[in-house]
Amino acid sequence: MATTASDTGKTLDVSHKRVVLASSLGTVFEWYDFYLYGSLAILIGKHFFSGLNETSQFIFALLAFAAGFAVRPFGAIVFGRIGDLIGRKYTFLITIIIMGVSTFLVGVLPGYDSIGMIAPVILIALRMLQGLALGGEYGGAATYVAEHAPQGKRGLYTSFIQITATFGLFLSLLVILGTRLGLGDARFDSWGWRIPFLISSLLVVVSVYIRMQLQESPVFQQMKAEGKTSKAPLTEAFGQWKNLKLVILALLGATAGQAVVWYTGQFYAMYFLTQSLKIDSTTAILLTACALALGTPCFVLFGWLSDKIGRKTIVLAGCLLAAMTYFPIFKGLTHFGNPAIEQAALSAPVTVIADPAACNFQFDPVGKTKFTSSCDVAKSFLAKKGIPYANQAAAVGSVAQVKIGAAIIDSFEGATLDSPAFAAQGKAFGAKTGAALTAAGYPEKADPARSNYPMLILLLTILVLYVTMVYGPIAAWLVEMFPTRIRYTSMSLPYHIGNGWFGGFVPTIGFMLVAWKGDIYYGLWYPIIVAVAGFFIGLFFLRETKDVDIRG
């Protein structure tokens, strides 16, 4: 029998360390490609969904972002099957080529103003290709590294794969920031945002070269030599209840909770700074980048620690801590990021007093619906200004009112605030409401002189620490749950449903909930509920795996 790193139990030699480095670098570049879109979602909304109103632009841009996550499980099925049939190396070589080409094409795609509705259609198609590629990437890289690692060190070595997602996000933020500073805001917003996407073509060349140097996983080679590879990975993974049950539990008890903590800590938090707190995008990127730089080494720390005390303990503890502290942390971001909002909300709270039946959920993907009720007009005005508000029921058929402290302003029926036929009464409503908000202390933008940046970095770093707790050990935990012959397929699907569907939709669902309720913290209920559910399912139904032999 061939000797593998897992057989020896000793430290990996230089060639195996090269495996970890090469796999990690390639995955960093792939995550860079994927997260560029998320980092530029606001700008992309303006260029590709300019036919919609501002609120729908942002939410629909987030939906296009989420489209990449939605198809990740299908990529996991397709490429997971290929990886279990022909090998790990060539499968994730294909995925990085698909990812790089798709990202480059986003960079040259004309916008809505040039080619109309075909622009967002092509954009979403490219996002879906990216999602398919990433669906096949992660499981291959994690399985490949784990199958090279010695017994007792899989948590440590796979943590370097886990760190790649944050490094990819970090790299995308740095490239965006450097491009923005070099070109200036006006040129960057106009066309310079495309440059980070075009840079992807260079990274793809480097990544393909790196991966061409790798050899196949020794565990897979041994299994193939012994004739033990699966002939039907999909049937074995999902057609037999024993393994399918484990796939479902891995999703609900491990990856779903891990995913919402990941995306809340690294994406939702950044959007919260810019959309809810009105902190300028460059400052938000710098703050997020500082937090990532401080927290990222803990991926390796918690991966190493999981080899000592277990994967399950650390991942579930991260889910529980996040769920328990999200509300105070995000309220702290408001307190230290834009205290004027907090103070105004306390001294002059805003309330929309309206007939609940007249209040619609104002999300219009195709820009055809006109929200003209007095309640819709009032809420649309407040949402565009990022003003938190409460809701109070009024008599049936009554005209909505906006109460700002003691001031009460009547809304109106029949014309939206951004309508070409903007009525005189609408102008009067906007002027009165705007003046009352200003008088009450609600700011148009965050005042940098009043922002406490060290405290913001501290709070953002705590959010990143939760990310490292749940994400650092997850690859080793998933790899160890499933047998070698169907490992790529089995672990990829729950990971990508968890991260693609539960996690990837955190920003979209969160801000839709905020737009619905008016409470800037209401969107946190989604990740909190998922994280708590994952904690209890994982606690009672999943086993600890750190000491299992993965050669079976």
Is residue 4 a part of any domain in this protein?
Answer: no
Tokens of 443: 């700011």
Nearest to 87 by CA among 176, 214, 2: 214
**Enclosing domain of residue 389:** 342-440
**3-class SS of residue 153:** coil
Same domain assignment for residues 150 and 260: yes
Is residue 3 a part of any domain in this protein?
Answer: no
Same domain assignment for residues 436 and 474: no
Same domain assignment for residues 272 and 391: no
Tokens of 328: 């105070």
Same domain assignment for residues 218 and 312: yes
Same domain assignment for residues 178 and 125: yes
Same domain assignment for residues 176 and 221: yes
For residue 302, what is the domain's CATH number?
Answer: 1.20.1250.20
Is residue 549 a part of any domain in this protein?
Answer: no
Whether residue 70 contacts residue 131, with contact meaning beta carbons closer than 8 Å, is answered with: yes
**3-class SS of residue 451:** coil
> Going residue by residue through the chain (552 aa), what tens digit of pLDDT does each one get?
333 444 444 444 565 566 677 677 767 776 787 678 777 877 888 888 876 666 667 667 777 777 777 788 888 888 877 777 776 667 777 888 888 888 889 889 998 888 888 988 898 888 888 888 877 777 777 777 887 778 888 999 888 888 887 888 888 888 988 999 899 988 998 999 999 989 888 877 887 787 777 666 565 566 566 565 666 677 877 888 888 999 999 999 999 999 999 999 988 998 899 988 999 988 998 899 899 889 989 999 999 999 999 999 999 999 999 999 999 999 999 999 999 999 999 999 999 999 999 888 766 554 556 778 889 888 888 877 878 999 999 999 999 999 999 999 999 886 555 555 555 777 788 889 999 999 999 998 999 999 999 999 999 999 999 999 999 999 899 989 988 778 878 888 888 888 878 987 888 788 778 877 889 999 999 999 999 999 999 999 999 999 887 765
Is residue 516 a part of any domain in this protein?
Answer: yes
End residue of a domain, out of 389, 419, 440 = 440
Buried b (16+ CB within 10 A) or exposed e, 83-120: bbeebbbebbbbbbebbbbbbbbbbebebbeeeeeebb
For residue 346, what is the domain's CATH number?
Answer: 3.40.30
Is residue 548 a part of any domain in this protein?
Answer: no
CA 373 – CA 390 distance, rounded (Å):
18
End residue of a domain, out of 417, 440, 463 = 440
**What are 407's strand-pairing partners?**
404
CA 294 – CA 90 distance, rounded (Å):
34
Same domain assignment for residues 256 and 349: no
Is residue 551 a part of any domain in this protein?
Answer: no
Is the Cα dihedral 190, 196, 200, 202 positive or negative?
positive
CA 330 – CA 462 distance, rounded (Å):
11
Same domain assignment for residues 184 and 307: yes
Same domain assignment for residues 430 and 454: no
Query: Which phi and psi angles does 401 have, rounded to 5°?
Result: -130, 150
**What are 393's strand-pairing partners?**
354
Sheet holding 407-410, edge to edge: 390-393, 350-354, 401-404, 407-410
Same domain assignment for residues 123 and 58: yes
Under 8 Å CB-to-CB from 298, ≥6 apart: which residues?
A: 464, 465, 468, 469, 472
Predicted local distance difference test score (pLDDT) of residue 305:
96
Domains in the chain: how many in total? 2
Same domain assignment for residues 199 and 117: yes
Whether residue 515 contacts residue 59, with contact meaning beta carbons closer than 8 Å, is answered with: yes
Is residue 32 a part of any domain in this protein?
Answer: yes
CA 141 – CA 129 distance, rounded (Å):
19
Same domain assignment for residues 166 and 80: yes
Is residue 536 a part of any domain in this protein?
Answer: yes
CA 121 to chain centre: 21
End residue of a domain, out of 419, 440, 461 = 440
CA 439 – CA 360 distance, rounded (Å):
29
